[in-house]
Structure 1
Amino acid sequence: MLFFTAFNCLTLTDLLYFNISWLIITYSLNFYPTARKERFHTNLLKLFYLYVIYALSYFAFFGINSGRLQIPMKDLLNVLCCIYTLLTIYRILFYGYMDAYRKQGGDVVDVIVIGRDKNLKKIRAVFDDKLMGYNYLGYFDASPSTSPTYLGTLEDAYLYMLGNHVSQIYCTVSKLSEIELKQLIHFADNNFKKLKIIPDNKEVFTRAMSIELYDTVPVLNMRMLPLERSYSKLIKRIFDILFSLIVIVFILSWLTPLLCLLIKLDSPGPMFFKQQRNGVNKSVFWCHKFRTMTQSSTANTLMAVKNDVRVTRIGKLLRKTSIDELPQFIDVLLGHMSVVGPRPHMQYHTLQYENSVDKYLVRHWVKPGITGLAQIKGYRGEIITKADIVNRVRLDIFYVEKWSIYFDIRIIYLTVINSLRGEVNAY
C-alpha cells in the first residue's frame, strides 16, 4: 500500500518503541496467555482495551516527534487501521483453527473429578463442550452409584490414574478430609498431574464473584463488577463526556429554545423539571428533564400513570419520544449520571423498594443512566405490579455485572430505535 512509504523515515529506535510499547501493553492486559475456556467473543473487551491504549501510545509518539516525522494524519490512521484489521483477522482465524482442531480430537486433556456434589453437573457441561478440549473420563466418590461415569472410591482413583493417562484432576474439597486432600496433592505433585480444587460453595457462588489472594489466603469477592476497575471507569467516563457533548452541541443547543417556547405556551411553569434522585452509592443529585406535567404537590411521590391528567399536550409527545430526558445529558457531563445505566428513582421510591425488593440496592453500585437494559426490554414507566419492579431490578443487576462498552452502544442503539417507533409504556 502506498501510504506505507511515508514510514520509511522511521529509525530502528522508533521501531523498537512501537514493539516495546506493544509488549508492555499486552503484558499489562494479560493479552497473550489464552486459557482453554476462552473464545474470540469472550476476549473482545480485552481486544478493545488493547487497541484503545495502543492507539494512545501510537499517536502520542507521532505527536511528540511531529517536527522530525511529518507524516499526514490520514496515513497514520490508515496504517493503524490496517494493523488492527490484520490482527483481528489473525485472532479470528486462531480461535477458529483451535475449535476445528479440538473437534477433530486434537489438544485434548483427559480429566477426572473426585467428589460428587451439585457442582458436578455444572462442570460436566463445560467438559462436554468439544470446543473446550476436555475428555471427561468419570468421577470418584465415597458413595457408590449406578451412573456410567462413576469409577469408584478415592482409593480406586489412585490406581486408575496410574493406569490411565489422566492430565487434570478436579477435586471437590467438601468431600475430602484434610488428610485425604493432602495425600491427593502429594500424589498429583509426584505423578505429574494437575490438581484443581473446587471449593465448598455453600450454594453462594455467582457469576459476578472473583477470587482474590491476600498473601496466600484466597478470599472470595462475592460481587466483582466490571466498573470497579479503574480503566473501565475511565473508558465509560470518556464515552459519556464525548457522547453528551455531541448531544448538547448538536441537538440541545437548538432544540432547547424551541421547546422552551412550546412548553411555556402549553402551560404555566418552568421549562425544566428537576427532582432529587438517588445516584451511585445512593448519593442524592438533581435530575433534570423538560417539564411535561402541570405543577402539583404529588410530583415527588407519584410517578406518571396511563392517561395521567397532569401530563400536558406537548408533554405527551415529549414523553412518547423520550425527548423529555435529553436535559439529563447535562447531568451526564457534570458526572452525576451516565448515558447508560439503571434509571434513577425518586427518593420516595428508593426508600420504598430497598426494603421490599430483593437486591434492589445493587443497582446503586454504578451511576444511573438516561437509558438502560430494563428500558429497552420494556420495563419503563408505571409500576403496576411487583413483578414490574422485580424484573426491572433483575435486568439492572445483569447490566451492572456484565457491563462492557459494546453493551452500552447496543443499548443506545436500541433506545433510539424504540424512541422512533414510540414506546408503549411511555406516557
Structure 2
Amino acid sequence: MNYSHKTAQWGLNSAKPSSKWRAASGVGNARLIAGLFLLDIACIALSFLAAGELYGTVGVTHNTGWILIAGIVIPIYLVSASNLHAYSVDALENRFLSITRSVRAFLTALCIVILVAFVLKTSAQFSRLTLGFGAGLSVLSLAVGRYGFAHFLRRSRGMAIHSTVLICDAGQQVPEGDFSVLMAADFDLDPDKHDPLMYDRLSKALGSADRVVVACRPERRIAWASALKGANIQSEMLIPELAELAPLGVARHGPMPTVIVSTGPLDLLDRVIKRGFDVAVAGSALVLLSPLFLVVAALIKLDSDGPVFFKQVRIGRGNKMFSMLKFRSMRVETLDGAGDRSTSRDDDRITKVGAFIRRTSIDELPQLINVLRGEMSIVGPRPHALGSRAADKLFWEVDQRYWHRHSAKPGLTGLAQVRGYRGATFHEDDLTNRLQADLEYLDHWTIWRDIQIVLMTFRVLLHRNAF
C-alpha cells in the first residue's frame, strides 16, 4: 500500500499495525534494565547464601564464606554481563538470548575468580562445596529468573520493548513488519530544510523511540541521513535494491564502506571444535573398522578386476574440488567419474559385492580418510559430482542457492541424509529438499547437532533409496 496522506501534527500518524503497537519509553526501558540488573544480583547472592547454609548443615556453624565468594563474583559478573550485552533491549525481548548471555557472563566470572585464586594461592580460603554448589544454583536461578522476567514482562505489559518509528516519504510503499509509529514526511518534516525549527520538530516527533527506519526516494537518502545523524537514535535507511544481495552487515575498506554479503558459517572457535570432533571420530572409526576395511577390500578384488577404491572429483568447501574416496562398487569399464548418470535401482553397472556395500552404505566409509585429510567433515552437506543432475538440469541450474552450501566442509553424513533425502535425483524437488536441509544446517550449527545427526545416521544406513 502507499502511505501519502498528511497528519495534523508534524506528520505523526497514530496508525497501529498490530494490537501490540505501544512501545516502552526510554525511561521505561531503563527501569526494566535496572530491574533485571537487581534480579541478577539477587539470584547470585541467594544462590551462594543457600550454598553457605548447606555448608553449615555438614558441621560448620555460622558460615559466612559465601559472602566473600558472592562479593567477588557479583561485580565481575556484572562487568562481564555488560560486555556481553546481557542488559540490552534485545535481551529484554528475547528470553533465550537473555539466558544465554547471562549464563556465559557468570561462567566467565567464575573462571576468572578461580584463576585469580589459583595464581594468588588463596583458593584455600574458599569452600569448594560453597563455590561449586553456589555456582550450580546461580546458573539455574539466573536461567529461571530471566525466563520468568521476560515471561512476566510480555504478559503484564502486552507491548513491544523496542519502539520503532517508520518515516515514509509521500508515495513510498510501507514495508512489512510491525512499527510502533508511522510518520508521513511532509512539509514540516523535510530533511532538505536545514533549520533549527525543523530539527526541533523531528526530535519531538521521534520522542523516546529506540529506532527509526526511513523509506524514501533514492535521491532523498543523503538528506535524511544527514538529518538523522545528530538525532541520538539508531537510524536506518530502507534500500529495497539490497534485498537480492541479502547483506549481512556493513564494513569498511579504507575510507569506503562495503556491504558484507557472506561470511563463513563458523567462527574460529567453532571451526576448532568441529575439527577436533572430526579427527576424534574419524581416527577412532578407522582403527575400529580396519578389519572391515580389509574384508571389503578382499571381496572387491575377488569379485571383479580393478582397484579397491574409486576416486571421484567432488565440490568441497569454498567450491574447491577434491578427490573423494569410495569403495569401488561398479565394474571398471562402467565407472562414471563425472557423475553424469545417477545410479538407479538394479543398475547393471554395479557388481554383486557393490550392491551389498551400497545398500549398507559401507561404500562411503573410505571418506573417513578424506575427513582426516581435512577435505571433509563427519557432518555437513554431502559433496556432489560435477555432472550431477536433477530433472536433466545441473544442480546449480535448478536453484542458484546451490553454491551457498559450499561455505562449509562437505560431510560424510548430513541433515538431509537423516531426513531421508538421498539416492538418485530424478526430480527437481529431490535436490531442493536436500538443499533446504543443508542451508538449515549451516544456519543453525552447533556441535551438539553434529552429535545428534551422527546418532540419527545409524537409523538410515539401510534406506530404500540406497542403491
Q: TM-score, normalised by structure 1?
A: 0.70
Asked if the contact 2:214/2:236 (under 8 Å) is kept, the reply is yes
Q: 1:388 aligns with which of 419, 423, 430?
A: 430
CA shift, 1:384, in A, is: 0.8
Q: Closer, same or farther in 2 for the Cα pair 1:284/1:179, shift >3 Å?
A: closer
Partner of residue 87, structure 1: 139
How many angstroms does 1:332 deviate by? 0.7
The answer for the alignment partner of 1:278 in structure 2 is: 315
Distance 1:42 1:339, change over 3 A: farther
Aligned residues: 386
Q: Write the distance in 2 (CA, Å) between the matches of 1:181 and 1:114.
A: 12
User: What is the letter of the counterpart of residue 308 of structure 1?
Assistant: D
Q: Where do 1:163-174 residues align within 5 Å?
A: 166-172=208-214, 174=216
Q: Tell me which residue corresponds to 2:182.
A: 139
CA distance in 2, matches of 1:248, 1:17: 49
Name the residue aligned to 2:362: 323
Determine the C-alpha separation between the residues in 2 that align with 1:170 and 1:319: 58
2:275 corresponds to: 237
Match of 1:113 in 2: 166
| Kept in 2: contact 1:276–1:346 (CA 8 A) | yes
CA distance in 2, matches of 1:171, 1:208: 17
Gaps of 5+ in 1: 6-13, 128-135, 144-151
2:400 match: secondary structure: coil
Q: Distance in 1 between matches of 2:189 and 2:447?
A: 47
* Cα distance change on mapping 1:324 and 1:387 into 2, 3 Å: same
Match of 2:416?
Answer: 374
* Structure 2 residue corresponding to 1:100, chosen from 144, 148, 152: 152
Report the CA distance between 1:85 and its aligned residue.
7.1
Note the aligned Cα RMSD (angstroms).
4.8
Query: Is the 1:40–1:91 contact (alpha carbons within 8 Å) kept by the matching residues of 2?
Result: no
* Corresponding residue of 1:9: none
What is the deviation of 1:335?
Answer: 0.6
Deviations 1:149-202 (A, max 9, x none): xxx98479976974896433422253555445434444x34xxxx343134131
Between the aligned partners of 2:143 and 2:416, the Cα distance in structure 1 is: 33
The Cα shift of 1:248 comes to 2.2
Aligned-pair CA distance for 1:89: 5.1
How far, CA to CA, are the matches of 2:309 and 2:423 in structure 1?
Answer: 19
Q: Write out aligned runs for 1:389-408 (5 A).
A: 389-408=431-450
**CA distance in structure 2 between the partners assigned to 1:17 and 1:268 by the alignment:** 72
Q: Distance in 2 between matches of 1:271 and 1:50?
A: 53
Structure 2 letter corresponding to 1:244: A
Distance 1:119 1:355, change over 3 A: same
1:410–1:26: structure 2 CA closer, same or farther, 3 Å change rule? farther
User: Aligned partners of 2:424, 2:246: CA distance in 1, in Å?
Assistant: 31
Whether the 8 Å contact between 2:94 and 2:150 is mirrored in structure 1 is: no
Retained in 1: the 8 A contact 2:103–2:139? no
Residue matched to 1:425 = 465
The one-letter amino acid of 2:250's match is: I
State the AA in 2 paired with 1:292: S
> How far did 1:82 drift?
7.9
Deviations 1:352-394 (A, max 9, x none): 5446642332222221111123323333221212332344334
How big is the shift at 1:288? 1.5
Letter in 1 for 2:466: A
- Structure 1 stretch 319-328 or stretch 397-406: which is displaced more? 397-406
Find the residue that maps to 2:325 and give its secondary structure: strand
The structure 2 residue matched to 1:219, chosen from 248, 258, 263, is: 258
Distance of 2:143 and 2:274 partners within structure 1: 25
The AA in structure 1 aligned to 2:289 is L
* Inter-CA distance 304–225: structure 2 relative to 1 (3 Å threshold): same
Q: 2:89–2:161: 8 Å Cα contact kept in structure 1? A: no
- What SS does the aligned partner of 1:286 have? strand
CA change 1:304–1:39 in 2 (3 A) is same
CA distance in 2, matches of 1:55, 1:264: 59
Q: Which has the higher contact order (CA 8 A, sep 6+)?
A: 2
SS in 2 for 1:418: coil
Aligned to 1:147: none
TM-aligned CA deviation for residue 330 of structure 1: 1.8
3-state DSSP class of the match of 1:403? coil
Q: Distance in 1 between matches of 2:258 and 2:226?
A: 21
Q: Name the structure 2 match of 1:200.
A: 239
Q: Distance in 1 between matches of 2:456 and 2:431?
A: 21
By how many angstroms is 1:69 displaced? 9.1
* 2:350 matched residue in structure 1: 311
- 1:280–1:367 CA contact under 8 A, matched in 2: yes
2:167 is aligned with what amino acid? Answer: I
Distance 1:24 1:184, change over 3 A: closer
Decide whether aligned partners of structure 1 residues 356 and 111 sit closer, same or farther in structure 2, where only a CA change above 3 A counts: closer
Greater radius of gyration (CA): 2
SS at match of 1:120: coil
Query: 1:51·1:84 contact (CA, 8 Å) conserved in 2?
Result: no
Structure 2 stretches of 5 or more lacking a match? 1-50, 59-68, 191-197
1:289 is aligned to: 326
The answer to whether the aligner puts 1:362 opposite 2:404 as a matched pair is yes
